Amino acid sequence: MVIDLYFMPGAASLSTHVLLEEVGAPYRLVRVTKEDGKVDPPELERLNPHRRVPTMVDGDLVLYEAIACAMHLADTHPRAGLAPAPGTAERAHFYRWLAYLTNTVQAGFMIFFYPERYTADPAAAPAVEAQAAAALGEMRDLLEGELEAGGPYLLGERFSAADVYLFMLTRWGRRLEPRWWDGPALGAHFRRVFERPAAQRAWEQEGLDPPV
- Do residue 28 and residue 67 come from a single domain? yes
- pLDDT confidence tier of residue 15, bands split at 50, 70 and 90: very high
Q: How far apart are CA 10 and CA 3, in angstroms?
A: 19
Overall number of domains in the chain? 2
Q: What does the mean pLDDT of the chain come to? A: 96
Q: Is there a contact between 101 and 162 (Cβ–Cβ < 8 Å)?
A: yes
Q: What is the pLDDT of residue 166?
A: 98
41 within domain boundaries: yes
Same domain, yes or no: 96 and 58: no
Least Cα distance to 12 among 84, 91, 101 occurs for: 101
Look at residue 206 and tell me if it is in a domain.
no
Task: Supply the pLDDT for residue 168.
Answer: 98
Band (pLDDT 50/70/90 cuts) for residue 1 is confident
The percent of residues in the chain predicted with pLDDT above 70, rounded, is 100
Please tell me whether residues 193 and 100 are part of one structural domain.
Answer: yes
Q: What is the pTM for the complete model shown?
A: 0.95
Residues 63 and 95 both lie in one domain? no
For residue 103, give the CATH number of its domain: 1.20.1050.10
Residues 160, 190 within the same domain: yes
96: confidence class by pLDDT, cuts 50, 70, 90: very high
Is residue 11 domain-shared with residue 74, that is, in the same domain?
yes
**Terminal-residue alpha carbon distance, the chain:** 37
27 is a domain residue: yes
The average pLDDT across 74-93 equals 97
Same domain, 26 and 71: yes
Task: Choose the final residue of a domain: 81, 100, 130.
Answer: 81
pLDDT at 37: 80
Select from 81, 113, 134 the last residue of a domain: 81
Residues 6+ apart with CB under 8 A from 40: 32, 33, 34
For residue 56, the domain's CATH number is: 3.40.30.10
212 part of a folded domain: no
Amino acid at 70: A
Range of the domain at 75: 3-81
Residue 36 scores a pLDDT above 90:
no
Whether residue 19 contacts residue 73, with contact meaning beta carbons closer than 8 Å, is answered with yes
Residue 146 confidence (pLDDT): 97
CB atoms within 10 A of CB 18: 26
**94 and 185 part of one domain:** yes
The last residue of one of the domains, among 62, 81, 100, is 81
Q: Any bridge partners for residue 55, and if so which?
A: 6, 64
Q: Please check whether residue 152 lies inside any domain of the structure.
A: yes
148-159 residue pLDDT tens: 999 999 999 999
131 pLDDT above the threshold of 80? yes
- In this predicted structure, what is the pLDDT of residue 123? 94
Is residue 209 situated within a structural domain?
no
Return all residues near 189 (Cβ < 8 A) that are at least 6 apart: 147, 151, 152, 153, 163, 166, 167, 170
Answer yes or no: is 51 within a domain. yes
